Amino acid sequence: MTKNIVLTMLAAAGFACSGSASEISEFISPPNVTAAYSSHDNWRGVNHGDNDLGVKVGADLHFLGFVADTSVGWSNNDDQDEYEFSIGTEYEYTLPVIDDVTFHAEFNYYSEGTDVLGDVESELGLGISKDLSFAKVSVTQFIALEGDHDGYGELSFDFGEVYSGVSLTATAGYLLEDVKVTHVEVSAYLPGVALPQTELELKPFVKGVYTFNDRDGIWSGQDGLEVVGGVSLTRSF
């Protein structure tokens, strides 16, 4: 799987950095850069290569009246080089009975498709989330704009800090068209360490991914449990 950057989006971000069109687009939070190493690049329940090293730049961008979470990244491992671009936004709303919820939308573009996960060149994710007593629960349905991935979606739980400095998340992937669960992923982010005389934070993480062996078609090729470990280094500006 190789991902590429949408040049028009990058141009908008660069225009924002110049400060020449503050009413149209501007960064409302300082950009941050994260470098990360992980033993495996396991994405949506499928291993895309070992010894993965990546760099991602992200920031909140005020663009045409919306606050957009943007990120551009590159990673390299034993199997591939990849580039990725993502942009998303959220909107809080109060619904009868359900009360306060957050609607979210995101756009992802993949220049050569996602290969093992179905040949998808671009997708739109639409979802809703709500803060419950035990976690923030969200459901995101991805719509393939170019290609097909059997109606892939995710049910996610963000438990926040469950122990001193330790945060926990869990995600279950599903196929809407086949009514199947593809995988379950649990990630633990361990206490970070601030490096002396720098503004860098070192943060280890570990995740367990179980891929179900009754999948078929574009989701076949891997099953069972995989444990992924790694560390990230973040610098905010």
pLDDT score, position 24: 47
Tell me which residue range forms the domain holding 90: 7-236
Decide if 100 is inside a domain: yes
Q: Residue 2's pLDDT is what?
A: 39
Q: Which long-range contacts (CB under 8 A, 24 or more apart) does 128-134 make?
A: 128/101, 128/102, 128/103, 128/104, 129/101, 129/102, 129/104, 130/98, 130/99, 130/100, 130/101, 130/102, 131/100, 134/159
- Residue 9's pLDDT is 40
Asked whether residue 27 is domain-assigned, the answer is yes
Domain annotation covers residue 40: yes
75: closest CA among 51, 95, 92, 99?
Answer: 51
| Residue 172: inside a domain | yes
Give the position of tokens 């573009």. Answer: 109
Digit-by-digit pLDDT tens for the chain (237 residues) are 434 333 334 334 443 444 444 444 555 557 889 999 999 888 888 777 889 999 999 988 887 777 889 998 888 888 878 788 999 999 999 999 889 999 999 999 876 555 544 567 789 999 999 999 999 999 999 998 887 788 899 999 999 999 999 999 999 999 888 888 889 999 999 998 888 878 888 999 999 999 887 655 555 556 688 899 999 988 876
Q: What is the pLDDT of residues 170-223, one digit of tens each?
A: 999 998 888 888 899 999 999 988 888 788 889 999 999 998 876 555 555 566
Q: Is residue 75 part of a domain?
A: yes
Report the CATH number at residue 186: 2.40.160.40
User: Is 147 a domain residue?
Assistant: yes
CA–CA dist 75, 40 (Å, integer) = 12
Tokens read off for 219: 């989701």
DSSP summary character for residue 191: P
Question: Given this model, what pLDDT does residue 219 score?
Answer: 52
Give the number of domains in the chain: 1
With respect to residue 1, please indicate whether it lies within any of the assigned structural domains: no
Find how far residue 97's CA is from the centre of its chain.
Answer: 30
What pLDDT is recorded for position 3? 40
pTM of the model: 0.81
Structure tokens at 214: 């009754």
99 backbone φψ class: left, alpha, beta (φ>0; ψ -120 to 50): left
Domain membership flag for residue 215: yes
pLDDT of residue 124: 95
AA identity, residue 28: I
